[in-house]
Each structure stands twice: as structure tokens, then as C-alpha cells.
Amino acid sequence: MSKASKAAFISACVFTVGSMAYVHYRQFEDRYLLHQGVVRDTETQHRRQMANQHSLQTQIDITRRLKDQQQKVQDGTKDSI
């Protein structure tokens, strides 16, 4: 084999191995990024759920206070009659 053919063969092998390594690295990176997206979505969903629960509890507390105030007003009007 001539030196030129050996150089061509070696460069083709290096290019092939490099291409395969890059493709595997890219697949690993893409899977990792997709997983991070799922993790972020789960965290966002959890934060929204906690905010909704907090809002609901706040609304329940406000309703309870308003009912108590309304009851006091009604009791006060009954006593004055």
C-alpha cells in the first residue's frame, strides 16, 4: 500500500470514529435536555398546585370570616328588635 492510500484509510477511520463519537454524545445530551424539561415541568406543576392550594385556603378563610361577621350583624339586629 502506498503512503497516500494509508493516509486516506487512516483519515477515513478517524473521521468515522469521530462521527460516531459525536452522534453518541449528541444523543446523550439530547436525552439529558429532554429529561431536564420534564423535571422543570414537574416543578412548575407542583408550584402551581401549591399556589392554588394557598389561594383556596385563603378563600376559605375569607369566607369563614365574612360568615362570622354576617352572623354577628344578624345577632346584633335580633337583639335590638
- pTM across the whole model: 0.58
Q: What contacts 29, CB < 8 A, 6 or more positions away?
A: none
Closest CA to 61 of 74, 45, 69: 69
Print pLDDT tens along the chain (81 aa).
899 999 999 999 999 999 999 999 999 999 999 999 999 999 999 999 999 999 999 999 999 999 999 998 888 776 655
**Dihedral, CA atoms, 67, 73, 76, 81, nearest 10 degrees?**
-120
Separation CA 57–CA 4 (nearest Å): 79
Which cell numbers hold the place of 44?
412548575
